[in-house]
Homo-oligomer: A and B are copies of this chain.
């Protein structure tokens, strides 16, 4: 998505540790009109996938998943990063390692909100090593539901998580794939 690549080049900054900071429009301040446009692009890419629901993980996956839900008129479920006192009943859970924060965290989804007959589109803001998506895929499998695809706003192509998922037969569509980045330059993959 050319408009997203342009926005990353204009507003993104590269920090040490392969961190691409896009807090001005995607994960602290939200450029709502632009994220809605990204949601419509996800809707276009997956218009024939038969998804019945979108799954993401809090916090920064919520805006892009919500925008995709608005475009596709689908409900969104966001997995929670720890068992909240407000979550009663049984949950599906899995453990995800965050390289950004250097910790493991537990991700949970209430069993009421994922059923065996559902077709799930997984949406997130970033795709790097793929651990968050693998955790969400694991949760969908626990529910006996089907993953129809994954879509992320920004994929770090050099970290290979997206390519590994594609090699495993999962449809992965990222709106921009960063092929290399340093504090001085940033290039995108041409697909």
A-side residues, CB < 8 A to B, are: 15, 19, 21, 23-24, 27-33, 35-36, 58-59, 62-63, 66-67, 69-70, 73-78, 80, 84-88, 100-101, 109-110, 112-113
Contact = CB atoms under 8 A, between A and B. Distances in A.
A39 to B, nearest CB: 10
A73 to B, nearest CB: 6
A66 B21 CA distance: 20
A67 B63 CA distance: 9
Given A63-B66, A85-B100, 7 more contacts: A21-B86, A29-B76, A29-B112, A32-B66, A32-B70, A33-B70, A59-B59
A32 B69 contact: yes
For the complex of A and B, 7 pairs with smallest distance between CB atoms: A32-B69, A30-B76, A29-B113, A58-B59, A29-B77, A59-B59, A62-B62
Given A62-B59, A70-B70, A100-B85, A112 B32 contact: no
Contact of A29 (B30, B63, B70, B75): B75
Contacts of A19: 86
Given A33-B73, A85-B101, A101-B85, A28 B62 contact: no
B77 A30 contact: yes
Contacts of A101: 84-85
Contacts of A84: 101
A23 B75 contact: no
A100 B58 CA distance: 19
A141 to B, nearest CB: 19
B78 A28 contact: yes
A38 to B, nearest CB: 12
